[in-house]
Amino acid sequence: MSVPGAWYLGLGAMLFTIGAVGLLVRRNVLVMFMCVELMLNAVNLTFVTFARMLNDIGGQVVVFFVLVVAAAEVVVGLAIIVSIFRRRTEATADDVSLLRG
């Protein structure tokens, strides 16, 4: 019958991890940021699955909020990215390393 929640959750965990690893290995800030979106999606998937498994609408409501947060983050994040990489040809995270030690 219906697919057990564990499968969804496992998928979510994997998606989350791919996102996390992606952020770690990609140098392009935009792609890194997309990876954050992947992670958020993984969380969303997890919430929805839990909502179904627990038969609780709360999990779905949470996803709604996560979406809003994601949107706000994207707006600000992209604004920051634009402001810093405006004059550069590459949006490479490694270029931003003035501060260290």
Partner 1 sequence: MMHAVWLIPALPLAGFLILLATGRRLGDPNAGWLATTMMVGAFVVAVGVFFDLMGNPADGRVFQQNLFAWIPVGGLHVDVGFLVDPLSVTMALFVTGVGALIHLYSIGYMHGDERYPKFFVYLNLFAFSMLMLVLSSSFLVTFLGWEGVGACSYFLVAFWFERPTAATAGKKAFVTNRIGDFGFMLAMFLIFTTFGSLNYTDVLGRAGELPHVTATAIALLLFVGAVGKSAQLPLYVWLPDAMEGPTPVSALIHAATMVTAGVFLMVRVNPILDLAPGALTLIATIGALTAFFAATIACAQNDIKKVLAYSTVSQLGYMFLAVGSGAYVAAIFHMVTHAFFKALLFLGAGSVIHGMHDEQNMKKMGGLRKLLPITSGTFIVGWLAIAGVPPFAGFWSKDEILVNAYEKNHLLWFIGLVTALLTAYYMSRQVFLVFYGDQRWKVAADGKSPREAEAKPEHEPAAVKSASPAGHDPAADHGAHGDFKPHESPPAMAYPLVVLAVLAAIGGILRSPLERWLEPVVGERVHHVVSGAGTKVGLGVVTTAGALIGIAIAYSIYLRHRAKESSVEPLVLQRAWYADDIVRTVVEAPSRALANFSAFFVDAKVIDGTVNGIGALVRAGGGRLRRVQTGFVRNYALAVAVGAVAALAYAVARTT
Partner 2 sequence: MDWAVFVVAAVAVLVGALGVVLSSHPVHSALMLVMTLFGVAVLFIAQQAHFLAAVQVIVYAGAIVVLFLFVIMLLGVDRSENLAREPLKGQRPIALLAGVAVVASIFVLARHAWVSGATAVAGPADGPGSNVEKLADSLFTRYLLMFEMTSVLLVIAVVGAVVLARHSPSGGVRGAEGAE
Partner 3 sequence: MIAQVEPIALPNVEWSQMAPELILIVGALVLLVAGTFRKDRRMATGACIFTVAVGAAAMVSAWGLWQDVGGGAGGARLAVADALVIDGFGVFLTITICSAVILGALLAHGYLVREGLESPSFYVLMLLSASGGVIMAKANDLILIFLGLEILSISLYVLAGYHQRREQSREAAIKYFVLGSFSSAFFLYGIALTYGATGSTNLGFIAAFLGTQTVTQGVLLGGFAFLLVGLGFKVAAVPFHMWTPDVYQGSPTPVTGFMAAAAKAAGFAAMLRIFYSAFGTQQLDWKPMVWVLAVLSMVVGSVLAVVQTDVKRMLAYSSISHAGYVLIGLQAASNRGIAGSLFYLLAYTFLIVGSFATVAIVARKGDNRTGLDAFRGLARERPLLAFAFTVFLLAQAGVPFTSGFLAKFYVISAAVESRSYAIAIIAMLASVVAAYFYLRLIVVMYLAEGQVMAGLTAPGVTDVRPVGEPEGAGGVAVATVVEPKVDIPVGAAIAIGVAVVFTIGVGLVPQPFIDFARHAMLLRL
Q: Which of 78, 99 has the CB closer to partner 2? A: 78
Q: How many angstroms separate the CA atoms of 37 and 26, rounded?
A: 14
Q: Which does 60 bind (CB under 5 to 8 A by kind): partner 3, partner 2, partner 1, none?
A: partner 2
Q: Which of 60, 92 has the CB closer to partner 1? A: 92
Binding site for partner 1 (CB under 8 A): 20, 23-25, 27, 32, 93-94, 96-101
Shortest spacing between CB 7 and partner 3, in angstroms? 14
